[in-house]
Structure 1
Amino acid sequence: MKLHHILQGIQSEQRLDDIENIDIHTISFNSKQLTTGDLFVAISGGTHDGHTYIHQAIEAGAAAIVGEKALTTPLSVPYIQVTDSRQALATLAVNYYNHPAKKHIMIGITGTNGKTTTAFMLKHLLECEGYTCSLLGSVMNIINGEEIQATATTPDSLELNRLLHLSNDQVVIMEVSSHALTQARVAEIEFDYCLFTNLGHDHLDYHQTFDDYFAAKASLFHQLASHGHAIVNIDNEWGEKLHHLLLSKHKNVLSLSTHKDAKWKLTIQSMNRSSHVTLLNEREEALHFELRFPGEHNVYNCSMALMTGTAMGIAHKNLSASTPLFKGVPGRFTMIEHEGKTIVIDYAHTTDAFEHCLQTAKQCGAKQIYHVFGFRDGRDESKRGKMIETSAALATKYVLTLDDVKEPAKEDMMLTLMTLHYEHGSHNGEVVPDRTKAIEQAINQASDGDWIVITGKGHESYKQTFELGTHSDLDTVLTLTTRDEEKEDDIVI
Structure 2
Amino acid sequence: MKVKDFLNKLDIINTIHSIPLEAKIKGISDNSMNVDHHYIFVAIKGVQSDGHNYIGDAIKKGARIIIGENELTDVSVPYIQVKDSRKALGYISKEFYGNPSQDKTVIGITGTNGKTTTSYFIKNILEKNQKSCTLIGTIEYIINGETVKSLNTTPSSLILQELISKSRDDVVIIEVSSHGLAQSRVEGLEFDICLFTNLEPEHLDYHESMENYFKVKMTLFNYLKEDGHAIINTDNEWGMKAAQHLQNKNKHVHAIGQEETNHLQLTEMDGKTATVHFTVNQKESYQISMPIPGIHNMYNAAFAFQTAACIGIDGPFICDAFTALKGINGRFEMTKLSNNATVVVDYAHTTDAISHCLTAAKHRGASSIIHIFGFRGDRDKAKRKEMLSLTSRLSDYYILTMDDLNSVEPMEMLETLEELHEQYGNENGIIIADRTMAIKWAMDHCSEGDWIVITGKGHETYQQNFLLGTQSDKETVDNLIDQQGMKQSYQPILKGMKRH
TM-score, normalisation: structure 1? 0.96
Aligned to 2:152: 152
| Aligned partner of residue 13 in structure 1, secondary structure | strand
Please say which of residues 295-304 and 283-292 is displaced more in the overlay: 283-292
Whether the 8 Å CA contact 1:117–1:328 is kept in 2: the answer is no
Whether the 8 Å CA contact 1:459–1:472 is kept in 2: the answer is yes
Aligned to 2:342: 342
Summarize the alignment of residues 46-445 of structure 1 with structure 2, pairs less than 5 Å apart: 46-71=47-72, 73-259=73-259, 261-268=261-268, 270-272=270-272, 274-338=273-337, 339-406=339-406, 409-445=409-445
Whether the 8 Å CA contact 2:16–2:79 is kept in 1: the answer is no
Whether the 8 Å CA contact 2:17–2:77 is kept in 1: the answer is no
Give the CA deviation at 1:100: 1.1
Task: Name stretches of at least 5 consecutive residues in structure 2 with no aligned partner.
Answer: 488-500
Whether the 8 Å CA contact 1:121–1:328 is kept in 2: the answer is no
Give the CA deviation at 1:283: 4.9
Please say which of residues 180-189 and 1-10 is displaced more in the overlay: 1-10
Give the CA deviation at 1:363: 0.7
Q: Which amino acid aligns with 2:26?
A: H
Give the CA deviation at 1:486: 8.3
Q: Which amino acid aligns with 1:325?
A: A
Quote the Cα distance in structure 2 between the aligned partners of 1:301 and 1:239: 14
Cα displacement string for residues 127-152 of structure 1 (whole angstroms, at most 9, x for unaligned residues)? 01100000000010000000011011
Please say which of residues 350-359 and 16-25 is displaced more in the overlay: 16-25
Q: Which amino acid aligns with 1:225?
A: K
Quote the Cα distance in structure 1 between the aligned partners of 2:381 and 2:393: 20
| Aligned partner of residue 309 in structure 1, secondary structure | helix
Please say which of residues 14-23 and 188-197 is displaced more in the overlay: 14-23
Distance 1:192 1:111, change over 3 A: same
Cα displacement string for residues 411-461 of structure 1 (whole angstroms, at most 9, x for unaligned residues)? 111111111111211111111110000111111121100000001110111
Distance 1:23 1:309, change over 3 A: same
Cα displacement string for residues 382-427 of structure 1 (whole angstroms, at most 9, x for unaligned residues)? 1111111111110111111111225861111111111111121111
Distance 1:49 1:16, change over 3 A: closer
Whether the 8 Å CA contact 1:7–1:95 is kept in 2: the answer is no
Give the CA deviation at 1:4: 2.2
Q: Which amino acid aligns with 2:57?
A: Q
| Aligned partner of residue 453 in structure 2, secondary structure | strand
Distance 1:316 1:260, change over 3 A: closer
Identity in percent: 44
Whether the 8 Å CA contact 1:336–1:344 is kept in 2: the answer is yes
Quote the Cα distance in structure 2 between the aligned partners of 1:389 and 1:486: 34
Whether the 8 Å CA contact 2:44–2:68 is kept in 1: the answer is yes
Give the CA deviation at 1:292: 3.0
Please say which of residues 252-261 and 465-474 is displaced more in the overlay: 252-261
Q: Which amino acid aligns with 1:417?
A: L
Quote the Cα distance in structure 1 between the aligned partners of 2:291 and 2:190: 34
Give the CA deviation at 1:464: 1.4
Give the CA deviation at 1:308: 0.9
Quote the Cα distance in structure 1 between the aligned partners of 2:7 and 2:445: 63
Q: Which amino acid aligns with 1:281?
A: V
Cα displacement string for residues 333-354 of structure 1 (whole angstroms, at most 9, x for unaligned residues)? 0000002011000000000001
Whether the 8 Å CA contact 1:268–1:275 is kept in 2: the answer is no
Q: Which amino acid aligns with 2:450?
A: D
Q: Which amino acid aligns with 1:42?
A: A
Q: Which amino acid aligns with 1:113?
A: N
TM-score, normalisation: structure 2? 0.94
Task: Name stretches of at least 5 consecutive residues in structure 1 with no aligned partner.
Answer: 488-493
| Aligned partner of residue 484 in structure 2, secondary structure | helix
Q: Which amino acid aligns with 2:107?
A: I
Q: Which amino acid aligns with 2:44?
A: I
Aligned to 2:30: 29
| Aligned partner of residue 76 in structure 2, secondary structure | coil
The question of 1:454 aligning with 2:441 is answered no
Please say which of residues 281-290 and 164-173 is displaced more in the overlay: 281-290
Quote the Cα distance in structure 1 between the aligned partners of 2:111 and 2:79: 38
